[in-house]
Structure 1
């Protein structure tokens, strides 16, 4: 049985991570009602003997074992981690696997990367190695962070480089929230095995659409009181009061679906490493566009074929993308469908054949589908679908990032905040622009082949 380690960096990373562990525990509790420590639980949790050995060698009585998350929590401002340790999940985290500071990174990438990276490098490495040693077979690291601010972005990218150096054979699944344009883009481009990035505006748009549909009555029925997609409490009415909770839960639910095959049985389970193997034909073009459906839970839990087919259609519509993009009008390199619930392989095949004519795949990978069926649905749902697409529709997002980046850089706006940190040089920013420009050019090469006959296709100059 393989295990994975979750590394939560910064305020955003720890808040999303907390949502993930909360929902994961609910899923395991619903399936494993006897509370037996089994292979499914061991994929992301470990059993720790909490008995105390006395001076005379005697072992204390009482609680024998405790479930601990395979997680490392890092934040240079201790508020969020302290809040987690005082909350209902406090016993789930190993206090020896936490790293916090008091001052914070001052919303400065350079401070998080250069200052705290060097200061805490040894401690972080020790805790990563300890987490790896607790695994029988370490499959991958999940890194959750934000690319805005200081700790999540700066120390987060420092951590990615550290993982590449110390665990080069272990995949790195990176979940990044983009709240704003920053001066630091290319480290994530180069060293993440599979980066999935979510602009905060896109997540907010989805929450707003759900809220609008609920309030307008367009759903045609009531929403379940314990929907786990929209908020941890299931109260949709709190979305306006705590929009970040709802957004964090969408990302946490994506991670639940992504890891479902590693945690539960299914008729067609997918190994996490297979995602990278099948969806990334070129090393630099490894950015996945994700969509999740359903985004709300209805009281009617039956699965008539019409609704099941609609779930697949929704996964390819722009309204369900967790990135502002329209994959149907762009070029697919490959696509993975991860289905949960009482869905048959025949349903999966039927819908792929139904959708294929409306999707454009690269000519050399017309059958570039990877599929997974996990029999255990998310709590509160009868079925769900996570689609991961390697699609050129990410190019406009990168072009917009470059444009906004250059708008700041040409005026040297805020640049002094970074350059005053020891070790930072202006050449870093020119390298970031070059890296981003090269990536956009690679997507341009692919888009140019859309309507070309196979015999006329040029050899793509994809960087290695």
Structure 2
């Protein structure tokens, strides 16, 4: 049995990670009624002996109990979120030795996160990563969760990514990156995001970009569904904070974080549960990333009501597959149908047959444009365990040239600031940060966009030769 380690960096990364662990435990509890430590649990948890003392006064009883500990590393340069986590319902799932924190934060500055804190905490981070890896019999994958707009998530997050490549070059690196919206309240977010993009392009095996605005839109759609006459939200819903049962007590980003956590929940379901057509995590990279730099995948989740545990009439199964290719269900603002697919994966959970998968792929094929050299570029997965309280769900992952629109918008916002050299001095005051870092980052992003444009230019053509991009080996 293989194991995976989750690395949570920054406020956003740790909030999403906390929700992910909550949902994972919820799923396993619904299946594993006797609470037995099995192979499904071992993928993301260790079974640890913990000493306990029972009783009072002189009549103390000492012994051992077995407790679950998450295979996770938690990093943040502000203490708030980690302290809250250690005081919350999941406090026993994490070991203090898995945490790294500071006090002052990174001040929304990529350079502080990457150059300053990276150098300061490098040895400590490497030590924790190695010890976490040593607890795995067969380490298959690292999941890094971070945001792009702030300082710790973008800077220290991508620093950790480079460390993972140096220390564990054979272990796959999946990254979930939350991108800021155009109206982001962090003025320097375009700088942080573009500087982080260079690191993601060079050091990640697979990136799932997620846009804040798309999350906001999906949350609004779910609330509209919940307010319908035929729908109601179940208590302890995944749309509701894990620490409260009333939406009025939610924090502003709880519902958005829940959506990202559900993405990871579906992504890892095949490695946690049995299925007639399970997909290994390394198969995603092998099948969906034909060129090493073009590893940014568009994700979509359906049905949306599974994210909120809504009680609504069941829709036709085929509609779930149709919705997966609708902009309304994507975690990015992009339009794959009018762009080129390099490959696509359908990860289905629950009461679905292989014949249902095949039928819907054949039905959808005519409306989707695939590169001429990979028209059968479909990868499918079927996990028998559905989300809690539902019959089925679908996560679609598409390697599609439409991601370039997000990158182009990001570059445009960067250029507007950089032309004025606005706020640059805050970055250049950090030891090791040079102005050339900005130039290299924009050149890297420009090159990435051009590679997508080169593929898009082949749309509708029958080409015998693969475009001249460096081929993954």
> Is 2:240–2:247's contact at 8 Å kept on the other side of the alignment?
no
> Is 1:301–1:382's contact at 8 Å kept on the other side of the alignment?
no
- Larger displacement relative to structure 2 (321-330 or 182-191): 182-191
User: Does residue 427 of the first structure (1) align with residue 439 of the second (2)?
Assistant: no
What is the alpha-carbon distance in structure 1 between the residues aligned to residue 82 and residue 351 of structure 2?
A: 37
The equivalent of 2:343 in structure 1 is 334
Alpha-carbon deviation of 1:52?
Answer: 7.3
The equivalent of 2:202 in structure 1 is 190
Q: 1:301 to 1:266 in 2, by over 3 A?
A: farther
Q: 1:301 to 1:22 in 2, by over 3 A?
A: farther
Alpha-carbon deviation of 1:41?
Answer: 0.2
TM-score of the superposed pair, with normalisation by structure 2 = 0.92
SS at match of 2:142: strand
> Is 1:228–1:380's contact at 8 Å kept on the other side of the alignment?
no
Q: 1:205 to 1:119 in 2, by over 3 A?
A: same
SS at match of 1:399: helix
1:405-444 to 2 correspondences below 5 Å: 405-444=414-453
What is the alpha-carbon distance in structure 2 between the residues aligned to residue 392 and residue 234 of structure 1?
A: 40
TM-score of the superposed pair, with normalisation by structure 1 = 0.93
Q: CA RMSD in A?
A: 2.0
The equivalent of 1:363 in structure 2 is 372
SS at match of 2:442: helix
Alpha-carbon deviation of 1:344?
Answer: 0.8
Q: 1:335 to 1:458 in 2, by over 3 A?
A: closer
User: Does residue 460 of the first structure (1) align with residue 468 of the second (2)?
Assistant: yes
User: Number of aligned pairs?
Assistant: 452
Q: Structure 1: 5+ residue runs without aligned partners? A: 54-59
1:235-246 to 2 correspondences below 5 Å: 237-238=247-248, 242-246=251-255
Alpha-carbon deviation of 1:231?
Answer: 4.7
The equivalent of 2:325 in structure 1 is 316
Alpha-carbon deviation of 1:301?
Answer: 7.0
What is the alpha-carbon distance in structure 1 between the residues aligned to residue 210 and residue 22 of structure 2?
A: 21
> Is 1:76–1:102's contact at 8 Å kept on the other side of the alignment?
yes
SS at match of 2:85: helix
The equivalent of 1:228 in structure 2 is 238
What is the alpha-carbon distance in structure 2 between the residues aligned to residue 329 and residue 290 of structure 1?
A: 16
> Is 2:225–2:231's contact at 8 Å kept on the other side of the alignment?
no
SS at match of 1:360: coil
What is the alpha-carbon distance in structure 2 between the residues aligned to residue 79 and residue 120 of structure 1?
A: 19
1:133-152 to 2 correspondences below 5 Å: 133-152=134-153
User: Does residue 207 of the first structure (1) align with residue 219 of the second (2)?
Assistant: yes
> Is 2:89–2:243's contact at 8 Å kept on the other side of the alignment?
no
1:89-238 to 2 correspondences below 5 Å: 89-179=90-180, 180=184, 181-183=189-191, 184=195, 185-217=197-229, 220-229=230-239, 231-232=241-242, 237-238=247-248
